[in-house]
Amino acid sequence: MFNYAKENTMKRTAYLFIPLAFLALSALPAAAEDHAMKHTEGKAAAQNHQGKGTINSVDAKAGKINITHEPIASLGWEGMTMDFEVQDKSVLANLKKGQKVTFKLVEPRKGKYVISEIAVAK
């Protein structure tokens, strides 16, 4: 004999379970990405890369500086000319074209390097 009450209970369970399972599975990639990003950001922020170079231009308002730098061994970079953003725009206030500088780079996001510290070379 067919039990309608049992079938109804099974349908309700299925209707409840399927959306919940979908939500749980769809949240996994976002949670994993968030965890990976936090882990990467913390690791990247802890690693400083040292550089030396000459200032070509300073845009204090935009928080950017153009530097022709020597090779940076810790990144495997050859010497080149690059635009960099700085973490703190105020460090650019007294810097001028032609000055030799030393600087530290950090990677707050994968592949994105910014200057965390910069000073006129002695």
**To the nearest 5 percent, what fractions of the chain are helix, strand and coil?**
40, 35, 20
Instruction: Give the CA distances from residue 90 to residues 37, 72, 95, in Å, rounded to whole numbers and listed in that order.
Output: 28, 24, 10
**What pLDDT digit, counting tens, does each position of 82-98 carry?**
999 999 999 999 999 99
Can you tell me the distance from the alpha carbon of 27 to that of 119, in angstroms, rounded to the nearest whole number?
A: 45
Q: How confident is the model at residue 44 (pLDDT cuts 50, 70, 90)?
A: very low
Segment among 10-14, 54-58, 89-93, 102-106 with least mean pLDDT = 10-14
Helices (H), 1-119: 4-46
pLDDT at 47: 81
What gap in Å lies between CA 38 and CA 30, rounded to an integer?
Answer: 12
pTM (2 d.p.):
0.62
